[in-house]
Amino acid sequence: MLLLCKSSVLTVLLLHALSLSASALAVGLARRHRRDVLPGPKGCDVFSGSWVRDDGSAAEAAYTGYKCPVIDAEFNCQLYGRPDSDYLRYRWKPASCELPRFDGADFLTRMKGKTVMFVGDSLGRNQWESLVCLLHAAAPQSPSQLVSADPLHTYKFMEYELVVSFYRAPYLVDIDVVQGKRVLMLDDIAENAQAWRGADVLSFNSGHWWTHTGALQGWDYMGEGGRYSEDMDRMVAFQRGMTTWANWVDLNVDPAKTRVFFQSMSPTHYSSKEWPNPVSKNCYGETVPLTGLNSTAQPMGQEQVTKTVLQGMKSPVRLLDITALSALRKDAHPSVYSGDFSPAQRGNPAGSADCSHWCLPGLPDTWNQLFYTLLFYQ
């Protein structure tokens, strides 16, 4: 690597400053700064560690719920009255290395002209909105464009020709309508997958919707091989759907052109019996994480299915293994501070708290710090 003294670097930057836009100059400075910032051993397990409190200025959130243009009401805890902010004062510390801080200017520059797409359910959307917020905070004056037409939501950073998208497909596989009934096609993904072609980075997630029943169930029948059933073992169905997804990736994604990630299951905190000294029956009122190393909770069935399917794939797919580290964050959910709730619901935390999604800013910013680390450092 060619080494330059600090004065030489500054001279080069000053010579170019007049021809650069303000945001581009900021990117140049950030990139110069990053040459000495390394995450530690390349082989570090960044998902094994603990949460440490950090009251320094570096721990302050990069954005607020009032300034990011894409935060959904259900994630915007600050806007909807959450009174505490200590949940923003914890950073993830891997056991054997340091994570590089998320550098939005660096991300924008490295990914110039590319497309990053998240595909999945509302937890994937949680992470997509976090990433857009982090990048917007790094270049707040840079022109941008948001286009939302469900199931595709696209945010473009015009100056960098970077597209960051979310495609809603909670099962990943297709849902067809047959004689007025919604059929979850366990062996067909072609319609959804049309939207994913050509992306430079794909991050998928699925799992939660496969166990929903009643009004929350997103289908009427399951279909496979031309046959239909009213139901089956949900983990068997999930495994078949995931296998269809895996086969599509193996056949259609060129690893030389596209990086593929899979976000592991995001945990919930609806039963305070799962942790010591609870303050309510669920996540409401919790203000500090669980202490110690990663949660020892039993893995969900979806986790086991996901890991088995990924291990059997030909294509390299990186697992964004956020489950255990997120399981420690009983304090980071919206609980009643969600714009999706009426005043009456917000007054009834025992019956209405959201202990599935995560506040923004908040925990998904750490997911994106890990995503950034895997993307550029490992």
Q: Are 162 and 111 in contact (CB under 8 A)?
A: yes
Alpha carbons within 13 angstroms on the beta-carbon side of residue 200 total 12
Partnered with residue 117 across adjacent β-strands are 165, 202
Nearest to 322 by CA among 282, 372, 262, 271: 262
What tokens does 288 get? 């500090």
Report which residue type is found at 145. Answer: Q
Catalytic residue among 326, 354, 356, 365: 354
- Selecting among 153, 335, 357, 365, the annotated active-site residue is 357
Helix axis angle for 122-138 and 363-376, nearest 10°, is: 80
Alpha helices in the chain (DSSP H): 6-17, 22-34, 104-110, 122-138, 190-193, 234-252, 301-311, 323-327, 343-346, 349-352, 363-376
Considering only CA atoms, which of 136, 54, 41 is closest in space to residue 368? 136
**DSSP assignment letter at 220:** S
Q: DSSP string spanning 59-84?
A: GS-SS-TTT-TT--GGG-TTTTT---
Q: What are phi and psi of 354, to 5 degrees?
A: -90, 105
CB 46 within 8 A of CB 99: yes
Instruction: Give me the phi and psi of 320, to 5 degrees please.
Output: -85, 90
DSSP code of 335? B
In 3-state terms, what secondary structure has residue 165? Answer: strand
Is residue 93 within 8 A of residue 49, CB to CB? The reply is yes
Instruction: Please confirm, yes or no, whether 122 is among the known catalytic residues.
Output: yes
Q: Name the DSSP class of 265.
A: P
Contact 27, 108 (CB under 8 A): yes
Q: Which of 122, 264, 272, 295 is catalytic?
A: 122
Strands (E), the chain: 49-53, 90-94, 115-120, 144-149, 152-157, 162-168, 175-178, 181-185, 201-204, 221-224, 227-229, 259-263, 317-320
316: region left, alpha or beta (phi > 0 left; psi from -120 to 50 alpha): beta
Give the catalytic positions in this structure. 122, 354, 357
